[in-house]
Chains A and B, each alone.
Chain A
Amino acid sequence: MAKVENFRTFDVYNRSIDLSMAVKQIINGCKADLTEYEVGVLYKNAVIIPNKIAAAIGQVNMKVRFKKLNEAKSTVIQLQTIMLDLKRRKKIDEQLWQEVDEYSIEVMKLLNGYFGWISKSKEKIG
């Protein structure tokens, strides 16, 4: 049986938690300028990303892992788009946006790196 990894030891998970906390900080800081819908969407996306990553790493089926990580990736892209739109409309603070943007880029890079690592391991086994 393939080893069941501890998702908390993975950088991609830890950075996604940082991203989640940074988004929460924005929600708390700019709540007055954001609509209820915007708060809901931001919060939902921020929570979904680390959970999808944990669900992917914490089991052994490779197909499920790819699927869940892809879902996490598209949620990161969605979050980046929403954040950029909110920044353009001056609804969120530029500095806070910068922080979230940096975390989201980092998570994306780590996700891509993880995809590459899985593919290489598969090739080696094959």
Chain B
Amino acid sequence: MEKITEKENEELSSKKPYVKNVRDLKAYRDALLFCKVMYEIAKRIPPDDSFIADLLKRSSSSVVANLAEGNTNYYYKKEYNHFNTSLSQLAVSRSALSIIRMQGYIDESVYKSADLRGEEILKMIIKLMQRIERKLDQDDFDETEIGNKAVKFEIDLSQLFEKATTFTNLILGVVQQYPSNEKNNQIDQITRASQSILQNLENVENTSYPQQLLSLNTCLGSISECKAFLDISVMQNFISNEQYSELDNLGGEILDLIIERMNQVEQKYEEGHKAVS
């Protein structure tokens, strides 16, 4: 059985009452547009300098993915850490942008407008992080509530696993049609995120209560990360709208099931706790 580390334990001590939809977050929508601009700029870079083009695409996608992963999980400290990674990746994108400008692949106006977008996102992420810090300072978390506590039906783990396997297989199928230069970027990242869902679901069985919550919470983050990569993929026309809708809906279904499952785990633990005391 896997043990929870001290760091993880600290992260688990600060629970959010519910998770919001990341697409409602302005920073996320702006990061998606920033990513689109970076992809446009990357197209102007000659194949000789493909390293910096890949770096630009990878880092800007990572900003989006970390915002999604951070927002869709139940622990403030994890959210804070993901937002911090977004900040770091945003700095990489802006630094790569400077190098590209110096090498003359883009003109000053394109550079300034793209950099300004980056700066706006930076400010938004800082505000989000400050908000989390204020929440953490208040130190009065509702430890009992995870989401809508009214568990409607029993969530079977095998049913969840089946849906997650279908989701992963569909993703493995669609990445075949991605351009080959996305191998180290989108293909690699979305494949890893989708496989992480299955790995974490496997960890849920026969583990302790906090470990179960932690694994399910990581699943939530990975699904949201996949959905973020799908947003980028449909924007870049790597996948069709139909494929996007199918995957996005299935991802949403799994997300809801995991939240329900987390509620069940919490409820069972509380009942057991009451019985003992």
Contacts and interface: CB of A to CB of B under 8 A. Distances in A.
A29 to B, nearest CB: 15
Interface residues of A, number: 26
B130 A54 contact: no
A111 to B, nearest CB: 16
Contact of B85 (A21, A40, A54, A59): A59
Contact of A58 (B49, B81, B91, B96): B91
Contacts of A105: none
A3 to B, nearest CB: 9
B91 A60 contact: no
B95 A51 contact: yes
A32 interface: no
Interface string B57-91: 00100000000000000000000010011011111
B261 to A, nearest CB: 31
Interface string A1-34: 1001001100001000100110010000000000
A69 interface: no
Best-buried of B52, B81, B85, B91 by chain A (most CB within 10 Å): B91
Contacts of B235: none
B84 A61 contact: yes
B160 interface: no
A66 interface: no
Contact of A1 (B51, B81, B122, B130): B130
Best-buried of B87, B95, B99 by chain A (most CB within 10 Å): B95
Contact of B51 (A4, A20, A44, A61): A44
Interface string A29-59: 0000000000010011001001101111111
B138 interface: no
B126 interface: yes
B87 A4 contact: yes
Nearest to A13: B95
B55 interface: yes
B253 to A, nearest CB: 34
Given A1-B129, A51-B55, A64-B84, A58 B102 contact: no
B99 A20 contact: yes
Contact of A47 (B81, B88, B99, B126): B99
B91 A64 contact: no
B227 interface: no
Contact of B122 (A4, A40, A57): A4
A13 B129 CA distance: 25
Contacts of A13: 95
A17 B102 contact: yes
Given A55-B88, A60-B84, A43 B95 contact: no
13 contacts: A1-B126, A1-B129, A4-B122, A47-B55, A51-B95, A55-B91, A57-B91, A58-B91, A58-B92, A58-B94, A59-B85, A64-B88, A68-B88
Interface of A: 1, 4, 7-8, 13, 17, 20-21, 24, 40, 43-44, 47, 50-51, 53-61, 64, 68
Given A51-B92, A55-B95, A59-B84, 18 more contacts: A1-B129, A4-B87, A17-B99, A24-B103, A40-B51, A47-B52, A50-B95, A50-B98, A53-B95, A55-B88, A56-B88, A58-B87, A58-B122, A59-B87, A59-B88, A60-B87, A60-B129, A64-B84
